Structures are given as structure tokens and as C-alpha cells.
Amino acid sequence: MKKYNTFFQYIFFALLVLFTWSCSNERKKSQKELDDSLKTEAFKKWDETIPGSFSEQTELTFDSTEIAVFFAGYPELKIYEDSIKKFYSQRNYAYAWFTTKGLIEQAGNLSDRIRNLGDEGIEEKVPYTQVTDSLIYSENLTENIKKPSIEIELLLTGQYFVFANEVWQGVDEKTSKSVQWYLPRKKVSYGVLLDSLIENPKSLENVDKEPVYRQYGLLRKFLTKYRLVEKEPEITNIVLDAGVKSFKPGDSSKNILRIKKRLSFLDDFTGDTLSLKYTDDLTEAVKNFQERHGLTADGVIGPGTIKEMNVPLSKRIRTLVVNMERARWLPAGLNRKYLGVNIPEYKLHVYDSDSLLWSCNVVVGKDLHKTVVFQGDMQYVVFSPYWNVPESIVRNEILPAMNKNSSYIAQHNMEIIGKRNGLPIVRQLPGKNNSLGLVKFLFPNNYNIYLHDTPSKSLFAQEDRAFSHGCIRVSEPVKLAEFLLEDMPQWTAEKINTAMHQNKETWVTLKDKMPVFISYFTAFVDRKGQLNFRKDIYDRDEALEKMILK
């Protein structure tokens, strides 16, 4: 494994959430895109956490005309010309990578990290890397340097902006939207970040300073680990014995031996890999494996568990790279409370800054009615809600049912309150059998998606929970209502319970809007530090993979 040098290994790393050469130009941003601060209220606090100040070195300067000369010789970096000019103008054209004693240590560290972009899940190459390395090597051999090399200086700065763009920003917004990602994209001034980096590197040796969502760095560690063992022999042809539906504790089989070796390879099992018996320690290892893959953690090895065990490491590595790209698009973190839904995980997570307060199961949209990846601000809690049936459901489900059964509307506690676009306007009355349950949580958006209760509680116990028409059903609606209303003391637990069980709709406007992030991660690291994988329920990984991997 190639190691990062100390400085750049720790500079920056912080929620929580695609290309071949033909797409490389789409990765490159204009100066305005690079330097715009985050525009939404939710991101302002995060933007303020990235400090900026000028380097103390002012003795060594160069003429501004040198920049134009440089780009004539290095045209592939010209896309960053505005960023570089702005950076040096703010520094009064003082050298950033040199002191009177020569190159600073960070120059070699940056060069090393750029050389190892593969560790970041990036297949693109930074232009002129070999030239930079050669010049740095020659510079370090030279004694009594009288004048810094403007060529090395501008190469390093240009390559820093390439690195920041590739590793911390990712593909452009147009491309991420093409894979149905409508969360606001992170924007940050990397020129300010570079200047702060150079002035006082020791103050930034904190992993929470990297301008990426914290999952990025966690996934990067597992990418490094998996690549180290990728070429080792794998057992990926595990099967059940003939006539056997599953393996359970106490069973014996050659395939159980293979399972032990496979789980040992994946670090789930640390016991005896020579015995054919399904032992207690294997049971715990299997449960751990099942939990990491979103399966029912019962210790029973059936076809579903075996299917996940047989996925080769090469496939897992590609999944890691895809999800690292998604992590680049998110803000590094929010200094406030917020909600996050990870669609493939079927989970709602409640956060206070980077602290996970609690989580619960959710049901998301089935493949025909995919839940959209986007961000909104929750504003209302609605107790004992009406369900205003969407036109698509009226057309495709309600009308055919009414044609077959004239009493369908009354039997389902519904009413027709008008007509629109040639269709009846149908709503379901409040009550325990209402499709939205006893409470819904609204964050106005163009996708007509919201969180709500449901009378169908049994669905939360299923492994695969993609059953809805796009909205998100929450398994703990009472707890969520209490959380959202905790700064409104008049809404006691008793009052909330009463409001949920009356026959009239009650709207409550939140004192402060609550950010809600609906994301799509098929690989993530949990709070126990374990790598998790989930099924790509909307088949989005492959499209992204084709864009960023060769």
C-alpha cells in the first residue's frame, strides 16, 4: 500500500449522501462554480468552518505576467487560470510553495498524493505529473537556491486545483443529475482552502478538516484495504448442499468450511477454519455479515446470504468507488439537527451535527415509483391527515376499482370532492386505516414526496422495503413527531397522541425548518466502523460506474 505523507493525509477529512477521459472535461468547473459559497441556509455554517488567511511568506514574489507565460507551456491547466490568478492576486504574487530555504515539505506531499489518485477512487491522471516530479527532484538536489522556480510554483498550484476538483468536488452537476441525484451540490472556494493550508498546516492536521462528507474518508480506507487483498485467492462459489434449503447451527458440510474461510477473508470470522461444523462463533460471524449486507441477522445461511457471500471483491471495489463519488457531492457536515434517509438502506437517520441521535426503518418507493434523491426543508407536521390521492393513482387504481365495485369509495373511507383534468378528486378521510396513517411530515418540494405513518406496519420487518408510490413511510412516527416538536413545549406527548387519534386534520408549523436529505448510498461505513453494502434497488450504480470507471 502506498502511504500518504503526513501533511496531506490529514489536511482535510469531514455528513451524513461518475468518468472516463471523455467525461473528464465535465469534471472541470469554471471559476465561479469553484468559488461560489453554498447558497442554501442549511449549508452556511459548514461553509464558515473552512477558514482562509494569507501566507506569512511575502519576501519572495514574481511578476504577474509569468502566469500567462506558464499557461503557454502548460495548456492542459489553463482551465484553472482564473482560479490561479485570483489566488496569487490575493497573495500579492508571493510564492506559496517556497521559502528562502527552498521548497516547503508540503510540495512533495501534494505531489505524492496526486501520484496516488487511485487511492481516492479516481482513474483520471493529473496532467504533467511526471514533469512536476522531475523538477521537484532536481530542485531538491540543488544547493544555495538564489531564486525559486516559477515553473514548479505554478505547476504545484495548478495541480492542487486539479486535485481539489477531482477528489473533493467530483463530476459536474449536470452529470450527477443525469443519474437522478437532485441534492444540492457542494461548492467551496478551494483557493481559500489552499491558502489556509499553506500558512499553517499543523492547525489542519485534523481529519475533520477535509472538505468532503465524512463517509468519503471512511470508504477510502476500505478501498485501500480491499485493493491490498484483491488479488489473493477468493472463495466465491459457495453453494448449499443438494436438497438443503439452508445451513443452521449444528450442521456439518464442506460448504460450511468454505463459508468459514470466506468470512475469515472478509474479516467477519476469526475462529477455526478447519472444522466442517457450524459452530456458535460462526453463528455470530454470519449474523454480523448479514447485518452488514442488510439481511435478516438470524444466523441462518440461505440462498440470499450465500448470494452476498459470493460477490467478488472486484465488484465490491467498484461499488466503493461509485459511492465515494456520491460522497464528493455532499456538504462536509451541518452544524445543526437534520434528517437523512438512505434509500437502499431503508433507514431514516436523525442527526445533531455529526452525532447520530437515532435511526428507524422506512419503506421507500418501488422501482416503478422511485423515491427521488433531493433535499428539502421540513415545515409542517400534520396530525390525523387526509390523504389526497394523486391523479396517477386515481387513474390507474381507483377508477378501475370503482368500475368493478360501486361501493369502493365508501368501503375505503374515501370521498370525492370535485373534478380536475377529467378525473374525480379523491381523498381519504382521517382514521386508523388512512393510507398515511396518523401523521405526515411535509417538506414542500416539486416531487410531491413526504414522510408519513402507515397502517401497514408489517412491511417494516421485510428485508426489502420498496413498496410505496414514492413517499417514505416511517416506522416510528410518534418518536419523529416528538423530536420535531421538542422545542414547542405545548406539544406534550399526551397532546401529540390525542391529535393523532381524532377525526379532524391538524396542521402544526415547525418553529424552525428541519433539513431533510434523501440520498442513495449502496456502500457506507456504520457507527461501529463496519463496511456495509446494500442492494442497488434502482439500478443506479452501473450507470455511474460506466461514467467514472474504465
Dihedral Cα 474, 479, 484, 490, nearest 10 deg: 140
The residue among 166, 164, 160, 174 whose CA lies nearest residue 122 is 166
Neighbouring-strand partners of residue 518: 341, 374
Residues of the chain with CATH 1.10.101.10: 254-311
Residue 392 CA to residue 423 CA, distance in Å, equals 10
User: Structurally, what CATH architecture does the domain formed by 254-311 represent?
Assistant: Orthogonal Bundle (1.10)
pLDDT in tens, the chain (550 residues): 333 333 333 333 333 332 232 333 333 333 333 334 323 333 333 233 222 333 356 788 999 999 999 999 999 999 999 999 999 998 899 998 888 888 887 787 788 888 888 888 888 888 999 998 899 888 876 666 668 899 999 999 999 898 888 888 888 888 888 888 877 787 777 776 776 666 554 433 433 456 778 899 999 999 999 999 998 999 999 999 999 999 999 999 999 999 999 999 999 999 999 999 999 999 999 999 999 999 999 999 999 999 999 999 999 999 999 999 999 888 877 889 999 999 999 999 999 988 999 999 999 999 988 999 999 999 999 999 999 998 989 999 999 999 999 999 999 999 999 999 999 999 999 998 999 999 999 998 989 899 999 999 999 999 999 999 899 999 999 999 999 999 999 999 999 999 999 989 999 999 999 999 999 999 999 999 999 999 999 999 998 998 888 6
Could you tell me how far CA 454 lies from the centroid of its own chain?
Answer: 27
Question: Domain 336-386+430-548 belongs to what topology?
Answer: L,D-transpeptidase catalytic domain-like (2.40.440)
Are 522 and 323 a contacting pair, CB within 8 Å?
yes
Backbone phi, psi, residue 421, to 5°: 55, 35
Residue 199 CA to residue 42 CA, distance in Å, equals 29
pLDDT reported for residue 247? 97
Are 500 and 383 a contacting pair, CB within 8 Å?
yes
Say which residues have a Cβ less than 8 Å from residue 422's Cβ, sequence separation at least 6.
none
Helix (H) or strand (E) holding 288: helix 280-292
Residue 10 CA to residue 206 CA, distance in Å, equals 6
Are 22 and 215 a contacting pair, CB within 8 Å?
no
Residues of the chain with CATH 2.40.440.10: 336-386+430-548
pLDDT reported for residue 419? 93
Strand extents, DSSP E, 187-245: none
Residue 142 CA to residue 295 CA, distance in Å, equals 60
C-beta contacts of 67-75 below 8 A and 24+ residues apart: 67/154, 70/150, 70/151, 70/154, 73/151, 74/127, 74/128, 74/154, 74/155, 74/158
DSSP-derived letter for residue 539 is S
Say which residues have a Cβ less than 8 Å from residue 182's Cβ, sequence separation at least 6.
372, 373, 374, 375
Are 261 and 235 a contacting pair, CB within 8 Å?
yes
Residue whose grid cell is 438443503: 244
pLDDT reported for residue 255? 96
Q: 203 to each of 190, 197, 429, 470, how far by Cα in Å?
A: 17, 9, 59, 45
The residue among 213, 209, 121, 190 whose CA lies nearest residue 544 is 121
Degrees, nearest 5: CA angle 84-90-92: 100
Catalytic center residues: 452, 471
